[in-house]
Amino acid sequence: MNLIGFILLTLLSVGSAVMVIQRRNPVESALALAVNLISIAGFYLLLNAQFIALLQVIVYAGAIMVLVLFVIMLLNLPEDPRESRSGFFQLWLAVGFTATFAVILRNAIRGQLADATFAAPTAGFGTVSVLGHELFSRFFYPFEVISLLLVVAMVGSVLLAKRRL
Amino acid sequence: MFDWIRDWVLLNPPMLAFVKVITVVGVLMTSVAVTTWVERRLSAIIQFRLGPNRVGPAGLLQPLADGIKFLMKEDIIPDAAHRPIFILAPALAMITSICAFGVVPFGPTVEILGVTVHLVILDLDGGILFALAATSLGVYGIVCAGWASRNKYSLLGGLRSSAQMVSYELALALSLIGVLLVSGTLRPTEIVEQQAGWFWNWNVFGGWQFVGFLIFLIAAYAETNRLPFDLPEAESELVAGYHTEYSAMKFSMFFMAEYIAMITASSLAVTLFLGGYQLGIPLAIEGPLLWIIQVGAFVAKVGFFMFLFVWVRWTLPRFRYDQLMDIGWKRLFPLALANLAATAVLVAMDVIRR
B304-338 pLDDT, tens digit per residue, is: 999 998 888 888 888 888 888 888 888 889 999 99
Q: Using DSSP, state whether B308 is helix, strand or coil.
A: helix
Determine contact, residues B136/B99, Cβ cutoff 8 Å. Answer: no
Q: What are phi and psi of B239, to 5 degrees?
A: 60, -85
Query: CA of B174 to nearest chain A CA: how many angstroms apart?
Result: 14
Tell me, rounded to whole angstroms, the distance of Cα B296 from its chain centroid.
18
Q: Are residues A136 and A66 in the same domain?
A: no
Query: Is the residue at A151 inside a domain?
Result: yes
CA distances (Å), B236 to each of B82, B230, B231, B239, B245, in order?
26, 11, 10, 6, 16
Cβ–Cβ contact B139 with A under 8 A: yes
Stretch B144-153: mean pLDDT, rounded?
84
Domain housing A21 = 1-78
Q: Answer yes or no: is pLDDT of B34 > 80.
A: yes
Q: Which residues of B touch A70 (CB under 8 A)?
A: 143, 159, 162-163, 166
What local confidence, expressed as pLDDT, does residue A37 receive? 92
Q: Answer yes or no: is pLDDT of B71 > 70.
A: yes
Q: How many CB contacts within 8 angstroms connect chain A with chain B?
A: 74
Domain ranges of chain B: 86-348
Per residue in B151-194, pLDDT tens?
888 888 888 888 888 888 888 888 888 888 888 888 888 888 88
Q: Which residues of B touch A40 (CB under 8 A)?
A: none
Interface test with A, best of B122, B136, B155 (most A CBs within 10 A): B136
- Rounded to whole angstroms, how far apart are CA atoms B72 and B249? 8
By C-alpha distance, the chain B residue nearest A64 is B166
By C-alpha distance, the chain B residue nearest A50 is B126
- Rounded to whole angstroms, how far apart are CA atoms B256 and B138? 13
Determine contact, residues B100/B131, Cβ cutoff 8 Å. Answer: yes
CA distances (Å), B321 to each of B160, B237, B325, in order?
8, 11, 6
- Rounded to whole angstroms, how far apart are CA atoms B19 and B65? 28
| Residue B244, amino acid | T
CA distances (Å), B326 to each of B136, B174, B234, B322, B333, in order?
21, 17, 18, 6, 10
Please count the structural domains in chain A.
2
What local confidence, expressed as pLDDT, does residue A112 receive? 67
Q: How far does chain B reach from its first CA to its final CA, in angstroms?
A: 44
CA distances (Å), A145 to each of A55, A133, A140, in order?
19, 17, 9
Contact flag A62-B163 (C-beta cutoff 8 Å) = no
CB burial of residue A159 (10 Å; 0-12, 13-18, 19+): exposed
Q: Which residues of B touch A25 (CB under 8 A)?
A: 82
Low-confidence ranges of chain A (pLDDT < 70): 1, 77-86, 112-116, 164-165
What local confidence, expressed as pLDDT, does residue A72 receive? 83
Q: Using DSSP, state whether A82 is helix, strand or coil.
A: coil
The 10 Å Cβ neighbour count of residue B225 is: 26
Q: What is the DSSP letter of B320?
A: P
Contact flag A127-B125 (C-beta cutoff 8 Å) = yes
Query: Is the residue at A87 inside a domain?
Result: no
What local confidence, expressed as pLDDT, does residue B73 receive? 87
Contact flag B137-A67 (C-beta cutoff 8 Å) = no
User: Kindly report the CA angle at B187 between B354 and B138, in degrees rounded to 5?
Assistant: 130
Q: What is the largest CA-CA distance in chain A?
A: 59
Domain finish residue from A18, A45, A78: A78
Most confident range (mean pLDDT) of B2-11, B28-37, B206-215 is B28-37
Determine contact, residues B251/B198, Cβ cutoff 8 Å. Answer: no
Query: CA of B125 to nearest chain A CA: how many angstroms apart?
Result: 7
The 10 Å Cβ neighbour count of residue B58 is: 13
Contact flag B158-A73 (C-beta cutoff 8 Å) = yes
Q: Answer yes or no: is pLDDT of B237 > 80.
A: no
Question: Which residue of A50, A61, A62 is in closest CB contact with B125?
Answer: A50
Query: CA of B274 to nearest chain A CA: how many angstroms apart?
Result: 24
Q: Are residues A64 and A131 in the same domain?
A: no
Q: How far does chain A reach from its first CA to its final CA, in angstroms?
A: 55
What local confidence, expressed as pLDDT, does residue A127 receive? 77
Query: Is the residue at A41 inside a domain?
Result: yes
- Rounded to whole angstroms, how far apart are CA atoms B210 and B206? 10
What is the β-pairing status of strands B115-118 and B109-112? antiparallel
Task: Name residues 178-217 of chain B within 8 A of A (Cβ).
Answer: 185-186
Q: Which residues of B touch A61 (CB under 8 A)?
A: 133, 136-137
Q: What are phi and psi of B295, to 5 degrees?
A: -60, -40
B276 φψ region: left (φ > 0), alpha (ψ -120 to 50), beta (else) = left
If you average pLDDT over every residue of chain B, what do you get?
85
E strand residue ranges, chain B: 109-112, 115-118
Cβ–Cβ contact B166 with A under 8 A: yes
CA distances (Å), B60 to each of B54, B68, B73, B306, B336, in order?
9, 14, 22, 17, 41
Interface test with A, best of B128, B147, B156 (most A CBs within 10 A): B147
| Residue % of chain B over a pLDDT of 70 | 98
Q: Which residues of A touch B137 (CB under 8 A)?
A: 38, 57, 61-62
Per residue in B105-117, pLDDT tens?
888 888 777 777 8
Question: Which residue of B137, B144, B147 is in closest CB contact with A57?
Answer: B137
State the ipTM, two decimals: 0.79
- Rounded to whole angstroms, how far apart are CA atoms B232 and B226? 9
- Rounded to whole angstroms, how far apart are CA atoms A68 and A66? 5
Question: Which residue of A28, A69, A76 is in closest CB contact with B162?
Answer: A69
Q: Give, for B185, the enclosing helix (H) or strand (E).
A: none
User: Kindly report the CA angle at B23 between B19 and B26, in degrees rounded to 5?
Assistant: 140
Query: Is the residue at A120 inside a domain?
Result: no
The 10 Å Cβ neighbour count of residue A96 is: 10
Q: Using DSSP, state whether B198 is helix, strand or coil.
A: coil
Contact flag B162-A54 (C-beta cutoff 8 Å) = no
Task: Name residues 76-115 of chain B within 8 A of A (Cβ).
Answer: 82, 85
Which CATH number goes with the domain that contains A2? 1.20.120.1200
Query: CA of A26 to nearest chain B CA: how many angstroms apart?
Result: 12
Q: Are residues A74 and A1 in the same domain?
A: yes
Question: Which residue of A50, A51, A69 is in closest CB contact with B143?
Answer: A69
Determine contact, residues B248/B90, Cβ cutoff 8 Å. Answer: no
Question: Which residues of A sit within 8 Å Cβ distance of B?
Answer: 25, 27-28, 31, 34, 38, 50-51, 54-55, 57-58, 61-63, 66-67, 69-70, 73-74, 76, 127-128
